[in-house]
Amino acid sequence: MLSLILQALFYSALRCSREMLSVDDGSKNLVRAINNRLSALSFHIREYYWVDMKKINEIYRYKTEEYSTDATNKFNIYPEQIPHWLVDWIPEKGGYLIGNLQPAHMDFRFFTLGNLWSIVSSLGTPKQNEAILNLIEAKWDDLMGHMPLKICYPALEYEEWRIITGSDPKNTPWSYHNGGSWPTLLWQFTLACMKMGRPELARKALDMAEKRLPVDSWPEYYDTRNGKFIGKQARLNQTWSIAGFLTSKMLLENPEMASLLFWEEDYELLEVCVCALSNSGRKKCSRGAAKSQILI
């Protein structure tokens, strides 16, 4: 569950640490190591974690048991792993970063925090970031419902729930971390929207939350597929629910503050990332090629 979230937060931490370093003889090796790690992580997530309609169709036609350096199916993913819900759910003009990727296994669920923070930190490309917001807008009823925002979609149910959660009574389907709705995610959503020039989406979510949160005494999370009920074990008057709402409101009222909290694309890192692909037989890049985002 936490793979994409941890990678996005780690990427942000690396970018923060690089900003705090003054480049001199004593730190240049450390800066170089950070840049190399950023480039490698950026390439890996953008290239292998991204799914949209085109990518799903590619996976659908994968050949398995490929082991050479030229293999298309590098992680030996079986096409039968594509869940039935995904084919009908993903929109034509949207996409997202999957929750986890391991040899022979992909977790296709949509994890909200990981995708939002990938936008904020520029872990995703500008086109990918735009597609994530397009998906959220297209699937508004599923991801927002009556209370923004769904922590992940869809929930684990039936045998999956019993096997993966161990029949955890707190993480029943559409509750808590298994598809619950968490108001504290509002501020990350607002920040991502403002970075991508889509503040109207954030206002729409904020207006929805403002009608319920004060009346419901600022609960920790909401339950059910559409977030209709206060969570079964949700604590009330939660600081992070209040802070998420107030931060969203302040960011929308003071757009200049938002720019202090997100990162733009670093084209030097992107150039290193793309040039590294030449070892695998791909087209060698220049700075101009890097700016054209040939990773998509």
Residue 285 has what pLDDT?
41
Q: Does the pLDDT at position 186 exceed 80?
A: yes
Rounded to two decimals, what is the model's pTM?
Answer: 0.89
Which of these ranges, 76-90, 175-189, 271-285, has the smallest mean pLDDT? 271-285
What's the whole-number mean pLDDT along residues 183-209? 98
Tell me what the mean pLDDT of segment 121-149 comes to: 97
Q: What secondary structure does DSSP assign to 88-155, as a single string?
A: HHS-TT-EEEEEEEETTEEEEEEEHHHHHHHHHHT-S-HHHHHHHHHHHHHTHHHHTTTSS-BSEES-
Instruction: Measure the CA–CA gap between 44 and 188, rounded to whole angstroms.
Output: 23
- Rounded to whole angstroms, how far apart are CA atoms 145 and 203? 15
Measured between alpha carbons, how far is 89 from 56 in angstroms, rounded to an integer?
A: 12
Give the pLDDT band of residue 272 (cuts 50, 70, 90): low
pLDDT tens digits, 212-221: 999 999 999 9
Q: Are strands 95-102 and 105-111 parallel, antiparallel or unpaired?
A: antiparallel
The answer to whether residue 48 scores a pLDDT higher than 50 is: yes
The share of the chain scoring above pLDDT 70, in percent, equals 90
- pLDDT value, residue 29: 92
Cβ neighbours around 32 below 10 Å, total: 11
Name the average pLDDT for the chain. Answer: 89
Question: What one-letter code names the amino acid at 285?
Answer: C
Instruction: Quick: pLDDT tens for 49-105.
Output: 999 999 999 999 998 887 767 788 888 889 999 999 999 999 999 999 999 998 888
pLDDT for the residue 95? 98
